[in-house]
Structure 1
Amino acid sequence: MAAVRRGVRGVPATVLNGFSQIFLAGGPWCGLLILVGLAHATRPGAAMAVLGSVVALVATVGDRFPGRRGGRDVTACPGTGEWQGIRQGLAGYNGALIGVACWMTWQETEAAVVATVLGALAGVVVTRLLTQLFAAPGIREPGLPVLTAPFCVASGLFAVLGAQYVPPEPVPPLPAGGAVTEAVEAVLGNVSEVMLVDDPLTGALVLVGLAVASWRIGLAALLGAVGEYLFGLATGQDPDKLIHGLLGYSGVLVTIALGAVFVTGPLWVRVAAAVVGLLLSQATAGLMVHLPVPTYTWPFIVPVWVVLIVLWAGRTWRAARRT
Structure 2
Amino acid sequence: MLASLKGVSQVILIENAWTGFIIVIALATVHVKLGVIALLSAIIGTLVGYLGGADKSAVHQGLFGFNAVLTGLGLSVFLTANLATILGAAALGTLCTAAFMHLFKRTNIPVLTFPYTVVTWLFLLASYHLNALRLDPGLIPQDLAHWHMNTAGEIDLASGLLNGIDQVYFQTGFLSGILILLGIFWASWRLGLLAVMGTAIAWPTAYLMGAEITNLNLGIFGYNAVLTMMAVSSVFHTRERPALLVGLLAAVSTVPVTAGLNTWFQAYGMPTLTLPFVIVTWIFLGARQVLPKL
TM-score, scaled to structure 2: 0.85
Q: Give the deviation of 1:305 after TM superposition.
A: 0.5
1:51-72 C-alpha deviation (Å, 9 max, x unpaired): 21111111111111xxxxxxxx
Q: Give the deviation of 1:231 after TM superposition.
A: 1.5
Mapped contact 2:79–2:124 kept (Cα < 8 A): no
Matched, 1:301 2:272: no
2:26 counterpart residue number? 37
1:146–1:98 distance in 2 versus 1, CA, 3 Å: same
Mapped contact 1:49–1:98 kept (Cα < 8 A): no
1:256–1:198 distance in 2 versus 1, CA, 3 Å: same
Q: Give the deviation of 1:266 after TM superposition.
A: 7.5
1:201-245 C-alpha deviation (Å, 9 max, x unpaired): 111111111111011111100111111122222222111111111
1:33–1:95 distance in 2 versus 1, CA, 3 Å: same
Matched, 1:237 2:227: no
- 1:275-286 alignment to 2 at 5 Å? 275-286=248-259
- 1:1-323 alignment to 2 at 5 Å? 11=1, 13-64=2-53, 82-107=55-80, 111-136=81-106, 140=107, 143-162=108-127, 163-165=134-136, 182-265=156-239, 267=241, 270-289=243-262, 290-291=264-265, 292=268, 293-315=270-292
Mapped contact 2:231–2:237 kept (Cα < 8 A): yes
Q: Give the deviation of 1:20 after TM superposition.
A: 1.1
1:35–1:167 distance in 2 versus 1, CA, 3 Å: farther
Mapped contact 2:201–2:252 kept (Cα < 8 A): no
Mapped contact 1:97–1:195 kept (Cα < 8 A): yes
1:166–1:27 distance in 2 versus 1, CA, 3 Å: farther
Mapped contact 1:119–1:154 kept (Cα < 8 A): yes
Alignment: residue pair count: 269
Identity of aligned residues (%): 25
Which consecutive residues of structure 1, in runs of 5 or more, have no partner in the other structure? 1-10, 65-73, 75-81, 169-177, 319-323
Root-mean-square deviation (Å):
2.1
1:166–1:225 distance in 2 versus 1, CA, 3 Å: farther
Higher Rg of the two aligned structures: 1
1:18–1:262 distance in 2 versus 1, CA, 3 Å: same
Which consecutive residues of structure 2, in runs of 5 or more, have no partner in the other structure? 128-133, 140-153
Q: Give the deviation of 1:96 after TM superposition.
A: 1.0
1:173 counterpart residue number? none
